[in-house]
Chain A
Amino acid sequence: MKKLSTLVLLIALVGVVSTVTAAPSWKPTKTIEIIAPANPGGGWDMLARVVQKSLMDEKLVEKNIIVVNKPGGGGSVGWTYLKGKKGQGEFLAATSTLIMLNQLLGTSELTYKDFSPIAMLQAEWIAVAVAADSPYKDIKGLMEALKANPASIPVGVGPSLGNNDHLVFLQLAKAYGIDPSKVKFIVYPGAGGEIVPALLGGHIKATVIGLAEVLEQHKAGKMRVLGTSADKELDFLPGVKPFVEQGTDLVFPHWRGLIAAPGLSPEQIAYWDDVFAKMVQTKTWKEQIANLGWSNFYQNSATHTKYLADQTKVFDELLTSVGLKK
């Protein structure tokens, strides 16, 4: 009897395992192309290359993978190319919030609806930072000073208004009852490369910027990060509370992910869901993103699609309120 039940259990187990590992009904039949819609060296390019390395080193796909750079138009050039590959599951492209913002800001017609969202993979957090000798010790201190005299605190942002960093600061300002149009934003097209020296040189008094760009400055005691858009206090940044723990209900990942060509079949999407669910657990992926200071932030195709829909609404309202929506 006991033997029999073990056998039944074993069969059941085999059954479960085999359904999990069952070969998906679709597989790539040619070289996989990951499009980085930007020049080499940027965030999208690095995501594409880290995914390439992780999938190949961990042997999660059977075909070769190449990364193709197609820069221009805030991603539009590369994405337009992807849009032309209708139904072909071997083409993926890196994305970020720009897939929503471009259309809202009027720089491109493309939205996530023109593609098959595949996954959100990683996130970086956005920081508000001041120089080490600044009188402001936390978000509240900075925001109250800003409210009292907006002209006295120029805030550096780059490469252009309407990006993630800018949106974060607008939301913070709104939460403290500051008229966003009164804030003096100084725009640096060179982003961190120009903002960091401007803050250290005292030309601006605060900045809202990707955490990675100021993290080492903070650790070296040259700048002070007042808060981050993370959901909790970060291990590598002890003592700095996120906005949510400083009284503002604002969690804002600067995420990157992948989209595929439009018109993918459910089998093709299931294949990539399976591959990326495995990839984010691998050692190679974890090591690589740790090197880059990124956090793992995985959403599968279905969750990510819903997220995109919800976020588009939030951004729409925000950009409308500051008059940037086109």
Chain B
Amino acid sequence: MQDIFSNLALGLQTAMTWTNILWVVIGGSLGTIIGMLPGLGPATGVAVLIPITFGMNPATALITMCAVYYGAMFGGSRASIMINVPGDASAIVSCFDGYQMTKQGRAGPALAISAIASFIGGMIGMVFLVFLTQPIAAAALKFGPAEMFSLLLFALVATITLSEGNLLKGLIAIAFGLMLSTIGIDGMTGIIRFTYGVESLNDGIDFLVIIIGVYAVTEVYKNFKDTNAVYKLDSKSIGKVWISREDWRRSWKPMLRNSPLGFIIGVLPGMGGSIATFMSYALEKNLSKRPEEFGKGAIEGLAAPEASNNACSCGAMVPLLTLGIPGSGTTAVMLGALMMLGVKPGPTLFTDHPEIAWGVIASMLIGNIILIIINLPLAIPLVQILRVPTRIMLPIIMGLALIGTFFLNYSSFDFIIVMIAGIIGYMFSKLEIPLPPLVLALILGGAFEQNLRNSMVLSDGNISIFFQKPISVVFLVLAAGTLVYALLRRKKHAA
């Protein structure tokens, strides 16, 4: 315990130089802006920084990259809340209730709770990182293919229960998403699947392109029937950029509950913010006494995933700091940058370079404080966006969507995919088939399939492997329980 505090003091000493604080401010602001733009996520933001970090000492470089990472987490949900266009995969859930709040004239509280929840999630994540890094890293090693498969199954089932109306439509969306995820080269056999000879499809369909399509482009299509409408909001109805006592009363427990959940999911290899936010949302909806308000502007439906998402990005640092392996796409880029600076992250990072490991942890503390200072006032000019007439806003959204698409893979073929995805999204919304299960299934489909097949190779095709591992059994029971619970509640509603 004594050690932890003296190490943290060392970390603060590293982080609290003027140079480092300046870089946290620059990185945090840059990350916030990058996070707001559709398609541009933290991985891109960190990658853009690599050439700049060349001249830095390793601690400053890592601190700057972390600031971009957290900044993007803060900024990612801004566009979700304001215009129903998620900045990246982990901001999709923020659309559910965030955009509804904006429509009800509560954009101010929505932006405020998003920043506050991000802050709380980040701080709880940091505390976990300080005190529980080693045991959690050890626990994460227990997740083999069978455990991963069951966890993913649970996540997908939980998403179906989110869909309003009937379960069948949720299932249709999941099935469609899983089908899309099989397009491209299969890593286990080298067989090219469902590309119909189109070489650009060999790498599969980038889920971010689909997200931009079914959210941003669909939003534009939907609004085209009424291009003269103005979001009729005066500054009073936007609401103060702060939350009421009632809002706080409803949100604090979800924020506290979901931060640890997000953190743990972040530690697991291959799991990221998208699954953390979906699971948090499902958890809160199922725990809530007012589940019918979810999706109609319930503030806890925004607070929970926001806290979870930021805690998840702290969790993703655990494998990097303890094992020297990337826990997410963003930390993979960080790892590469660190190696170029001559730091070899590995199990000995905490002992060989305590100033780096602890400096990063301390910078999270500073970074979170700075980011909330940047983000709360930023909400005031941001809500002015709502005054822009739709006929001007729609082309801007379309333009940003296409720019974001191109920057993902520098591929013009993605333009075709994004437009088709927009049409599919439009059809789905007309048929009232929910989009979130489609997107989540597409994101997780590859890992879902891979873990199933790896489990089958390990057990020589024996399906009992999923029932022999305790962790796997827990998730399977949870999945079954969630489904039964959703069915029972629906029956009660119908009665």
Binding site for B on A (CB under 8 A): 39-42, 45-46, 49-50, 53, 69-74, 76-77, 105-108, 151, 154, 158-162, 184-190, 192-194, 196-198, 200-203, 212-213, 215-217, 219-220, 222, 288, 291-293, 324, 326
Contact yes or no, B270 A190, CB < 8 A: yes
A196–B327 alpha-carbon span in the complex (Å): 11
B189 within 8 A of A: yes
Contact yes or no, B202 A107, CB < 8 A: yes
Contact yes or no, B348 A46, CB < 8 A: no
Chain B residue numbers with a CB within 8 Å of A213 are 325
Chain B residue numbers with a CB within 8 Å of A326 are 190
Chain B residue numbers with a CB within 8 Å of A76 are 199, 202
Chain B residue numbers with a CB within 8 Å of A197 are 140-141, 143, 269, 319, 323, 325
Contact yes or no, B190 A203, CB < 8 A: no
B144 within 8 A of A: yes
A128–B143 alpha-carbon span in the complex (Å): 22
Binding site for A on B (CB under 8 A): 43, 47-48, 50-51, 54, 140-145, 185, 187-190, 192, 199-200, 202-203, 269-270, 319, 323-327, 332-333, 335-337, 339-342, 344-348, 409-411, 446-447, 450, 453-454, 457-458, 460
A188–B143 alpha-carbon span in the complex (Å): 14
Instruction: Name B203's contact: one of A72, A188, A212 (CB within 8 Å).
Output: A72
A50–B141 alpha-carbon span in the complex (Å): 34
Shortest Cβ distance from residue A318 to the other chain B in the assembled complex, whole angstroms: 14
Given the interface pairs A192-B325, A197-B319, the reply to whether A291 lies near B341 with Cβ below 8 Å is yes
Contact yes or no, A288 B340, CB < 8 A: yes
Contact yes or no, B187 A154, CB < 8 A: no
Shortest Cβ distance from residue A65 to the other chain B in the assembled complex, whole angstroms: 12
Contact yes or no, B203 A292, CB < 8 A: no
Contact yes or no, A41 B335, CB < 8 A: yes
Contact yes or no, A219 B346, CB < 8 A: yes
Contact yes or no, B346 A217, CB < 8 A: yes
Shortest Cβ distance from residue A290 to the other chain B in the assembled complex, whole angstroms: 8
Contact yes or no, A291 B342, CB < 8 A: yes
Shortest Cβ distance from residue B72 to the other chain A in the assembled complex, whole angstroms: 15
Given the interface pairs A40-B333, A220-B346, the reply to whether A107 lies near B410 with Cβ below 8 Å is no
Q: Which residue of A lies closest to B460 (CB)?
A: A151
Q: Which residue of B lies closest to A196 (CB)?
A: B325
Contact yes or no, A46 B340, CB < 8 A: yes
Instruction: Name B340's contact: one of A161, A216, A292 (CB within 8 Å).
Output: A292
Chain B residue numbers with a CB within 8 Å of A216 are 324, 344-348
Q: Which residue of A lies closest to B49 (CB)?
A: A40
A92–B445 alpha-carbon span in the complex (Å): 36
Contact yes or no, A161 B188, CB < 8 A: yes
Given the interface pairs A189-B446, A193-B326, A201-B141, the reply to whether A42 lies near B336 with Cβ below 8 Å is yes
Contact yes or no, A198 B144, CB < 8 A: yes
Contact yes or no, B190 A77, CB < 8 A: no
Contact yes or no, B340 A50, CB < 8 A: yes
Can you offer 15 A-B residue contacts whose CB atoms are under 8 A? A40-B333, A40-B336, A41-B47, A49-B340, A50-B340, A72-B203, A72-B410, A73-B199, A107-B192, A186-B454, A187-B453, A197-B323, A202-B144, A212-B339, A292-B340
Given the interface pairs A193-B327, A193-B332, A292-B339, the reply to whether A160 lies near B185 with Cβ below 8 Å is yes
Q: Which residue of A lies closest to B342 (CB)?
A: A291
Shortest Cβ distance from residue B134 to the other chain A in the assembled complex, whole angstroms: 13
A19–B192 alpha-carbon span in the complex (Å): 53
Instruction: Name B50's contact: one of A40, A201, A291 (CB within 8 Å).
Output: A40
Contact yes or no, B202 A73, CB < 8 A: yes
Contact yes or no, B347 A217, CB < 8 A: yes
Shortest Cβ distance from residue A87 to the other chain B in the assembled complex, whole angstroms: 24
Tell which of B50, B51, B410 has the most Cβ of chain A within 10 Å.
B410
Contact yes or no, A73 B341, CB < 8 A: no
Chain B residue numbers with a CB within 8 Å of A200 are 141, 323
Chain A residue numbers with a CB within 8 Å of B327 are 193
Chain B residue numbers with a CB within 8 Å of A292 are 339-340
Instruction: Name A41's contact: one of B187, B200, B332, B345 (CB within 8 Å).
Output: B332
Contact yes or no, A53 B54, CB < 8 A: yes
| Further pairs besides A186-B454, A193-B269: 5, Cβ < 8 Å | A106-B190, A106-B192, A108-B199, A161-B187, A219-B346
Chain B residue numbers with a CB within 8 Å of A49 are 50-51, 340
A236–B189 alpha-carbon span in the complex (Å): 36
Chain B residue numbers with a CB within 8 Å of A74 are 203
Given the interface pairs A40-B50, A159-B187, A220-B347, the reply to whether A184 lies near B340 with Cβ below 8 Å is no
Q: Which residue of A lies closest to B201 (CB)?
A: A73
Instruction: Name B339's contact: one of A106, A188, A291 (CB within 8 Å).
Output: A291
Chain B residue numbers with a CB within 8 Å of A291 are 339-342
Contact yes or no, A71 B340, CB < 8 A: no
Contact yes or no, B192 A154, CB < 8 A: no
Task: List the 9 closest A-B pairs by CB distance, nearest first.
Answer: A216-B346, A160-B187, A201-B141, A203-B144, A40-B47, A41-B336, A41-B333, A220-B347, A291-B342
Chain B residue numbers with a CB within 8 Å of A217 are 323-324, 346-347
Contact yes or no, A189 B450, CB < 8 A: yes
Contact yes or no, A71 B269, CB < 8 A: no
Q: Which residue of B lies closest to A109 (CB)?
A: B199
Q: Which residue of A lies closest to B140 (CB)?
A: A197
Q: Which residue of B lies closest to A184 (CB)?
A: B457
A203–B269 alpha-carbon span in the complex (Å): 14
Chain A residue numbers with a CB within 8 Å of B446 are 189
Tell which of B51, B54, B340 has the most Cβ of chain A within 10 Å.
B340
Chain A residue numbers with a CB within 8 Å of B143 are 197, 201
Chain B residue numbers with a CB within 8 Å of A186 are 145, 454, 457-458
Shortest Cβ distance from residue B461 to the other chain A in the assembled complex, whole angstroms: 11
Shortest Cβ distance from residue B315 to the other chain A in the assembled complex, whole angstroms: 14
Given the interface pairs A201-B143, A203-B144, the reply to whether A184 lies near B346 with Cβ below 8 Å is no
Shortest Cβ distance from residue B276 to the other chain A in the assembled complex, whole angstroms: 17
Contact yes or no, A324 B54, CB < 8 A: no
Chain A residue numbers with a CB within 8 Å of B345 are 216
Chain A residue numbers with a CB within 8 Å of B144 are 198, 201-203
A187–B457 alpha-carbon span in the complex (Å): 10
Shortest Cβ distance from residue B204 to the other chain A in the assembled complex, whole angstroms: 10
Contact yes or no, A41 B337, CB < 8 A: yes
Given the interface pairs A154-B457, A198-B144, A216-B348, the reply to whether A190 lies near B187 with Cβ below 8 Å is no
Chain B residue numbers with a CB within 8 Å of A42 are 336
Contact yes or no, A293 B344, CB < 8 A: yes
Contact yes or no, A222 B347, CB < 8 A: yes
Instruction: Name A201's contact: one of B142, B185, B200 (CB within 8 Å).
Output: B142
A53–B411 alpha-carbon span in the complex (Å): 27
Shortest Cβ distance from residue B30 to the other chain A in the assembled complex, whole angstroms: 15
Chain B residue numbers with a CB within 8 Å of A41 are 47, 50, 332-333, 335-337
A62–B495 alpha-carbon span in the complex (Å): 80
Q: Which residue of A lies closest to B411 (CB)?
A: A72
Contact yes or no, B192 A160, CB < 8 A: no
Contact yes or no, B199 A193, CB < 8 A: no
A49–B341 alpha-carbon span in the complex (Å): 12
Shortest Cβ distance from residue B302 to the other chain A in the assembled complex, whole angstroms: 30
Chain A residue numbers with a CB within 8 Å of B188 are 160-161, 187
Instruction: Name A187's contact: one of B187, B324, B332, B337 (CB within 8 Å).
Output: B187
A49–B145 alpha-carbon span in the complex (Å): 36
Chain A residue numbers with a CB within 8 Å of B187 are 158-161, 187, 189
A293–B340 alpha-carbon span in the complex (Å): 10
Chain B residue numbers with a CB within 8 Å of A77 are 409-411
A220–B332 alpha-carbon span in the complex (Å): 21
